[in-house]
Amino acid sequence: MTLDPHAVRLASTPAEVEAALALRYRVFVAELGGGGDGVDHAAGRESDRFDAVARHLNVWLSDRLVATTRLIDSRGAALAGGFYSAGEFDLSPLVGSGRRLLELGRTCLDPDQRGGAAMFHLWNGLADLVLAEGIEILFGVASFHGTDLATIAEPLAWLHHHHLAPVPLRVRALGPGARAMDLLPTDRIDRRAAMLATPALIKAYLRLGGVVGEGAWVDRAFNTTDVCLIVDTARMNDRARAIYTRGLPG
């Protein structure tokens, strides 16, 4: 039997955190053209103030980091003055629910690992952590590349019409970056084309029964259009729960 060379673990040393920040730089800055105050081109790292209160879940292939995601719980958010997503969305429906929250963000994979096992292992590690800690609401910002809404009108409208969060969980985009998502009526949306244009991370949330907040947020510094995804673990159906507990394929 061939042993799987992947290892999933929370970063436990400064070097492991730095590896995550370097991978984020390669993906979000060098590949996708992102920027902002937290970009250090000389050091090749992308960071912000939330990294100091977050945990970093990493997937290693031998000694190479191939996937990472950042986790912020309610305690970390309190230390930072709020969740990262609160800069784009009104999170009061979630924060006021009294339920155990975990924010997922800055998720990225090494380019040559996309479509392979890295995402599967990352999600398995996340599912184990969420179940062990009794997390009830998993949420976070997920992004479409680019800020021209006309090019992503179909997937945005599909998400709005078919996956909008119920009112008790319906966060809303706020501030000058907020944009409507219902850019097309349902009869003008090609479902297959919409799903093909939807990033893998968003589709992973949807397979778990995830829903989206109302409105998107245009992040010009990162060259993305963001939606807020929410998974209520108590409301998963049997099929979604089975996927959740065994992990999602990449």
pTM greater than 0.85 (yes/no): yes
Number of neighbouring beta carbons within 10 Å of residue 41: 11
Taking CA atoms, 250 is separated from 116, 138, 203, in Å, by 6, 19, 10
**CATH classification for the domain delimited by 69-246, as one of 3.40.630, 1.10.510, 3.40.50, 2.60.40:** 3.40.630
Cβ–Cβ < 8 Å for 85, 28 = no
* Per-residue tens of pLDDT for the chain, all 250 residues: 445 678 999 999 999 999 999 999 999 999 988 888 889 999 999 999 999 999 999 999 988 999 999 999 999 999 999 999 999 999 999 999 999 999 999 999 998 888 778 888 888 898 889 889 999 999 999 999 999 999 999 999 999 999 999 999 999 999 999 999 999 999 999 999 999 999 988 988 888 889 999 999 999 988 899 999 999 987 765 555 565 555 554 4
What are the residue ranges spanned by the domains of the chain?
Answer: 69-246
pLDDT at 53: 97
pLDDT at 250: 43
